[in-house]
Amino acid sequence: MGLLVLGLLIWVGAHIFKRVAPEQRAAMGDKGKGVVAVLLLVSLGLMIWGYRGAEFIPVWNPPSFMVHINNLLMVIAVFVFGMSATTGRLRGKMRHPQLTSVKIWAVAHLLVNGDLASIVLFGGMLAWAVLEVILINKAVPVWDRPQPGEAKKDVVLVVITLVMFGLMTGVHAWLGVWPFPG
């Protein structure tokens, strides 16, 4: 559990450093991007290693139907994440699509995982995403909304969403976590 918490702390620190200490981050120049990238990779490794190695301590027992809600929310999370890169009509409909996607992902996983390590991981990521949105909105209160593009690009986003969801469920199955009810 210690590695999981350490990974979360590094993740949060690396992300919010730019928001809470912008002058120090700017002084680091391009080297700072590399430092942050390394810290994020280390944090991901620690979170994965810590989560997979954490003792299973049950806190609550999620009902089995939550798996369906989780899967639906995950399709939505992948779609919303993709909105950050779309050049279609949906561009500019949401200010923080990637962070919103993390929030949806975290809530979805909290619905189906009732153990302490899951609550720490997914609850921690949810708290980080909320904090990050607050800090960004405070630092840049006015959003320059991008102009929408072509509708056919949104169709591409739907196709990419379905392919990515399929790949993600495949990785979960490969890791021994079957994401569909039996």
62 and 104 together in one domain: yes
> 3-class DSSP state for residue 92?
coil
79 and 155 together in one domain: yes
Q: Which residue has the tokens 């430092």?
A: 35
- pLDDT tens-place string over residues 110-154: 999 999 999 999 999 999 999 999 999 999 999 998 888 888 999
Residue 35 is part of which domain span? 1-54
143 and 85 together in one domain: yes
94 and 20 together in one domain: no
Domain tally for the chain? 2
Q: What is the CA radius of gyration of the chain?
A: 18
| Mean pLDDT per 10-residue interval, the chain, length 182 residues | 97 93 86 92 97 96 94 96 90 92 97 97 98 95 89 93 94 84 70
For the chain, report the end-to-end CA distance as a whole number of angstroms. 30
69 and 32 together in one domain: no
48 and 63 together in one domain: no
Return the biggest CA–CA distance within the chain: 54
